[in-house]
Amino acid sequence: MRDTKHTETARQLWILRAVGFLIFLNSCSRGTAQGVAIRQKMFYQLSVTATIENSICNFTGLDLATCADSCVRNEECVAFSLEIWPNTTVCQLGSQNFAVLSNLTGMSATLFYAPSVPSGYTFAMITDKLHFLKALTRTMNYTTGLAACKADGADHLVQDDKGPAWHNFVLQYSAANAGGKSWYGGDDLDGDHIYNWNDGTLVSASVQTFWNSGEPTFSYGGQLEQCMGIGYNNLWYDFYCRFLFGVICEIRLP
């Protein structure tokens, strides 16, 4: 029989977006809201409706606290979602490589993830990733800006590689928080005339590219242009890396 006191405690913890339960490292172990709170694991709630697409485990008929406990019991679980269907619920557990689904049909869902985002980063949007952004307070050249982002805990400068919706969001964020002209996390610093994003992927392999006509030029006036930024008409340009532009740092989950 469910312990009412422990159930209420679990609900109160969720109001604080934290949950603590006895941890058993059993793969795909179904949780219980009756666990004793001897160790705490924090989760943050995503501010938009989304679920985990490639779950490592799933359970039907669970409430939120029991779904959370199922994640805490699984050593691979770093995120979980609770889907609300007309006649049941589905608890999805995600590992480090979880994928996010936000275009939901026939259900609503809430997604929670373990905190790995430093203070000051705000949730931006969902593509196939969760995107978090932070604009630094002063302009910098490209290499200094990239180093500052990494020192601040970011993965890289913001990358505009996820298609039109993300492109437009980044432009609006830059205009509101970084003066409108910002660096992108892409460069040709090795001089091979092939632009790569900071995460090592090819700029040409982006969902869609937004180069201005004639760009990239790789040089201008006899000097190398090897760093990507937001251009005068909101399209991509390559610039002298020494220019001082706004710096937007990005973290992606997973």
Alpha-carbon gap, residue 240 to 166, rounded angstroms: 25
| 22 pLDDT higher than 50 | no
pLDDT at 103: 80
First to last CA, the chain: 37
CATH entry 3.10.100.10 includes domain 122-253: yes
- Which residue bears the tokens 């002209």? 181
pLDDT at 27: 58
| 113 pLDDT higher than 50 | yes
β-pair type (100-101, 51-52): antiparallel
pLDDT digits 0-9 by tens, 31-61 = 544 433 323 567 888 878 899 989 999 999 9
Rounded mean pLDDT of 121-131?
A: 88
The token pair at 52 is: 């985990």
Sign of CA dihedral 240, 244, 245, 249: positive
Question: What residues does each domain of the chain span?
Answer: 4-113, 122-253
